Amino acid sequence: MAFAPKPGCPMCGIVAAAAVQVPGQPPRSLTCPDGPAEPETIWRDENFTAYREKTYPVSSNGHIIIAFNLHVPSIYTLSSSDLPLLVNVRNLGRRLLSASPPPSSPLFSSDNSSSHSVPLQPTESQFRIGFITPPFKDNKIPITDHLHAHAYLAPADLLGWWRGVAYGPLAWYAIDDLIAEIRESVSNNRVKSGYDNRTNAPIDAVPEAGARTGAADGNEYTTSSLAIPDVEDGLASPRSSNTSFASSPSGHIPHLHV
């Protein structure tokens, strides 16, 4: 199997633990059931596992990590056929951040916990979703060979100057820019990235835009996607999921299991 789980990979361990997590039960380590709990998984589907970063968040407003279930080594493994996956990462990050209260962390005092008991209502300018590109890494979450996206709400008030390098312009690859640049590479229509109205671009209403390539005679030579199911069979978007965030009590994110 391509991109099979890698022995000893912490992110593969988190993905595996989420697959067998029992609703209502705190997740436990697969290798040491009596040991400390695994990260709190808040989303799981065929392609991604997302958990709330509570130990070392970069923002007191919320920090979520979205890991590919497959052991994909880096963004440079992705092709244009994986554009729907990237669009889903972006949509998923926005939904989880919007529906989640800020993380419970030792970094926060009990005096402030009551003010964060309900989900925030972030503005568009607060969303930060993207990847840290090698050879840079977050020294608090030093996983460089299992692709995962960071989603947080600005400002990054818990970042610190050293971690700031990983989340700064030198290493940070915003997912909107990555999507736009992949589309530019396979399309005759130039897709501008980085302008203020980027999130309302009409092309973003079509997650599969740019994912299929072919010749003028109708022959298609699209490469296989990492998505499960493949893009040819239709890739479910978090926006079209059968589970509604709005139907959950107090805006809490429901447990999803494959």
Taking only the tens place, the pLDDT of each residue in 242-258 is 333 333 333 444 443 33
In sequence order, the β-bridge partners of residue 150 are: 65, 130
Tens digit of pLDDT at every position of the chain (258 positions): 578 889 999 999 999 999 887 555 555 444 444 444 568 899 999 999 999 999 999 999 999 999 999 999 999 999 889 999 999 999 999 999 998 775 554 444 445 444 445 666 788 889 999 999 988 999 999 898 999 999 999 999 999 888 999 999 999 999 999 998 888 887 765 555 555 566 666 676 777 777 777 776 767 766 777 776 544 444 444 443 333 333 333 344 444 333
Handedness of CA 48, 52, 55, 59 (dihedral sign): positive
Predicted TM-score (pTM) of the model is 0.75
Q: What angle do CA 86, 88, 94 make, to 5 degrees?
A: 110
CB-hemisphere CA count at 13 Å for 96? 33
Q: How far apart are the first and last CA of the chain?
A: 19
Concatenate the DSSP letters of all residues of 200-224 into one string. G-GGGG-TTTT---B-TTS-B-PPP
pLDDT tens digit string along 13-47? Answer: 999 999 887 555 555 444 444 444 568 899 999 99
